[in-house]
């Protein structure tokens, strides 16, 4: 069993400071986790963001070996348009990215709740690469477009 007190006194060797990104391309994914929305404050005021973690299901064994891992997840933050009473704003042009995800999963229907995303899939996702704005040698994965699985 994990002992947090013992952990605090354990020494560690030097470790890696970067992670190799998953190659850009189209993958089959499941939704692994849906975090409760959070409020972030930016230059244009407060925004509501809901993080969704996608688990890639069809990364090739060669890529897995090259990257040195077997679990491939990518988190995407969905900025939400909300009404004054904290509901999703479903007016024309609102929550388009979230609604595209819902449509890809067959969930773009009335009576929907965000919790229905947890464990949903499969769906097709496009994985993209984004260099860090402060260090172009560091590359992050993002989820671009989403669509129905074949």
Q: Is the dihedral of CA 117, 32, 57, 77 positive or negative?
A: positive
Tokens of 44: 């244009």
For position 150, what pLDDT does the model report?
A: 84
User: Which residues does residue 43 pair with via DSSP β-bridges, in sequence order?
Assistant: none
CA distance 56 to 113: 23
* Structure-derived torsion over alpha carbons of residues 124, 128, 53, 76, reported in degrees to the nearest 10: -120
Q: How confident is the model at residue 18, as a pLDDT?
A: 84
Q: Say if residues 54 and 143 touch (Cβ distance below 8 Å).
A: yes
Residue whose entry in the numeric block shows the structure tokens 């994914």: 29
127 is a domain residue: yes
Per-residue pLDDT of the chain (150 residues; tens, 9 = 90+): 999 999 999 999 999 888 899 999 999 999 999 999 999 999 989 999 999 999 999 999 999 999 999 999 999 999 999 999 999 999 999 999 999 999 999 999 999 999 999 999 999 999 999 999 999 889 999 999 999 998
- 3 lies in some domain: no
Q: What is the spatial distance between Cα 123 and Cα 91, in angstroms, rounded to a whole number?
A: 25
Domain interval for residue 31: 21-148
Write out the H or E segment, with its range, that includes residue 48.
Answer: strand 45-56
Q: How far apart are CA 81 and CA 66, in angstroms?
A: 40
Residue 84 lies in a domain: yes
Count of structural domains within the chain: 1
**Residue 91 within any structural domain of the chain:** yes
DSSP label at residue 70: S
Q: Give domain status of residue 16, yes or no.
A: no
Helix (H) or strand (E) run with residue 102 in it: helix 96-104
What's the N-to-C CA distance of the chain in angstroms? 42
3-state class (DSSP) for residue 46: strand
Q: Answer whether 102's CB lies under 8 Å from 110's CB.
A: no
């Amino acid at each position: 069993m994990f002992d947090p007190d013992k952990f605090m006194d354990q020494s560690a060797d030097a470790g890696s400071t970067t992670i190799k990104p998953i190659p850009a391309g189209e993958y089959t994914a499941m939704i692994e986790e849906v975090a409760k929305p959070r409020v972030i404050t930016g230059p244009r005021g407060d925004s509501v963001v809901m993080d969704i973690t996608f688990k890639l299901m069809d990364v090739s064994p060669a890529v897995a070996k090259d990257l040195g891992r077997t679990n491939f997840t990518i988190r995407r933050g969905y900025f939400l348009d909300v009404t004054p009473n904290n509901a999703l704003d479903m007016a024309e042009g609102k929550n388009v990215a979230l609604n595209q995800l819902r449509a890809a999963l067959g969930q773009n229907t009335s009576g929907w709740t965000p919790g229905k995303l947890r464990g949903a899939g499969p769906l097709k996702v496009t994985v993209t690469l984004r260099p860090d704005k402060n260090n172009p040698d560091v590359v992050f994965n993002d989820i671009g477009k989403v669509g129905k699985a074949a």
